[in-house]
Structure 1
Amino acid sequence: MKIALIGYGKMGKTIEQIALKRGHQIVSIIDINNPEDFNSDAFRGADVAIEFTTPATAFNNYMKCFEANVPVVSGTTGWLEHITEIKEKCEKEGKTFFYASNFSIGVNIFFALNKYLAKIMNRFPSYDVKMEEVHHIHKLDAPSGTAITLAEEILENMERKDRWTLESPEKPTDIAIHAIREGEVPGIHKVTYDSDVDYITIEHHAKSREGFALGAVIAAEYACGKKGFLGMEDMLKF
């Protein structure tokens, strides 16, 4: 498979190493210094582009990929105000877009566990729910896309909560997400249900970026040759 990389920071370099180990070719690398390469024959000849950049640049990158008819796999978070437009491009123009707030297989197992636990805890109003996420100091958005996904899954399955808030809840129906930025932490996510007599916590700790990078390459393998708006649930079929 011919892969184009958009974003060549620590994650991009890790994706490159894993893709090469799995027998793929890296045919184009686009970073902040060479955006003109979106128009290159090398980029246009890619089977798929894997995009890990910034919230400010991601949507424009997607549009350039669509113009070149290159399928996109993206793990950039913080741009979801444009998600309706992306879905319309996939539905009406036959574009291919695979998005995940977190490509780690372990995190997606954690998502499934989170939804199941929320369904159970919906029956026990004596437990309040709160969340915490910890990431490295270079992460630009807060809360993380993974934390937002976890919170939205709880909201879908818990009738007594109607929105998430950053840091402090403003009313009893809020889910508070405490976001911490420190050191080089790859990612920690914690969901806690607290009552007067006990508490229940589920949490996921990433040990390195490799789990995210491997998941992104596997997603690219899955998306290649498909059409539409895709995600980890399509691929993993939980």
Structure 2
Amino acid sequence: MKIALLGYGRMGKEIEQIALKRGHQIVIKTSDQEGYDISNADVAIDFSVPSAAVSNISNCINHQVPVISGTTGWLEQYDQVVSLCNQKKGAFIYASNFSLGVNIFFELNKQLAKMMNTIEDYSLSIEEIHHTQKLDAPSGTAISLAEGIIANSAKKKWELDASNSDEIIPISAKRIPEVPGTHTICYESDVDQIEIKHTAHNRKGFALGAVVAAEWLVGKTGVYTMKDVLNLG
């Protein structure tokens, strides 16, 4: 499989190592959104920056190259990209986090939210911790976790550094050197605490998930998620 790496930072380099070990070829690696011929690739993996993501993804779709994106911070234009993908009969996956373990964690989070929805006296909070080089806060993963709870409970929205209320999920974002990513969902009452947590030990899990998603997407048409890739129903 010939892979284009759109965004060649720390994640791009990690993806390159795993892709090569799995027998794939890297034909493009760029941090510039211009000056490359995407038609040379069988699939593209975008881990660029928010300002370049939509251009990168659209270029792939327009040239019939399946594309997956893990870039966060551009989702106000997500519906526009989906519309283009459907119009051009392209193939696209976006995920706030490609880690296989995190995507299982997303499903656990939804199930726990359903179970806790009718139980009173528990306050809910989300905490995310990442390395100091991460620019956005809260993380896309934390937002996905909050959205999973909102879809399965009476909560209406999330807010960064808010106080807990019947409608609001407070998210705290911490930046600590050399932390790949830790996400914690906590339900707490006067008598006990229920907590689920995902801790990434390194970036390999994110990179592996991205390559697995790219392998899965080749030959398909449509807009998918990691739930489809992992057959999580």
Compute the TM-score of the two structures, normalised by the length of structure 2.
0.96
Q: 1:16 and 2:30 equivalent?
A: no
Q: What is the CA deviation profile of residues 199-222 of structure 1, one whole-angstrom value per residue up to 9, with x for unaligned ones?
A: 111100000000000000000000
The amino acid that maps onto 2:84 is K
1:133 — aligned with what? Answer: 128
Partners of 1:54 and 1:140 within 8 A in 2: no
What secondary structure is seen at the aligned counterpart in 1 of 2:35? helix
How far residue 30 of structure 1 moved from its aligned partner, in angstroms, is 1.6
Q: C-alpha displacement at 1:171, in angstroms?
A: 4.6
3-state DSSP of counterpart to 1:157? coil
Correspondence for 1:28: 28
User: Which of 108, 113, 117 is the equivalent residue of 1:118?
Assistant: 113
Q: Which ranges in structure 2 are unaligned for 5 or more consecutive residues?
A: none
**Cα distance change on mapping 1:36 and 1:77 into 2, 3 Å:** same
Q: Residue 90 of structure 1 contacts residue 229 of structure 1 at CA under 8 Å; is this kept in 2?
A: yes
Tell me, in whole angstroms, the C-alpha distance in 2 between the residues paired with 1:26 and 1:103: 19
Q: Distance in 2 between matches of 1:47 and 1:60?
A: 18
Greater shift, 64-73 or 15-24, is seen at: 64-73
Where does the alignment leave 5 or more consecutive residues of structure 1 unmatched?
Answer: none
Aligned residue type for 1:237: N
Hey, what's the Cα distance between the residues in 2 that align with 1:189 and 1:165?
A: 16
What TM-score do you get using the length of structure 1 for normalisation?
A: 0.94
Q: Does 1:148 align with 2:143?
A: yes
Paired residues, number: 232
Match of 2:183 among 164, 189, 196: 189
Aligned residues with identical type, % of pairs = 54
Moved segments of 4+, more than 6 Å: none
Q: 1:84 aligns with which of 75, 79, 84?
A: 79
Contact residue 162 and residue 174 of structure 1 kept, 8 A:
yes
Residue 20 of structure 1 deviates from its aligned partner by 0.6
Match of 1:7 in 2: 7
2:60 and 2:123 map into 1 onto residues whose CA distance is: 43
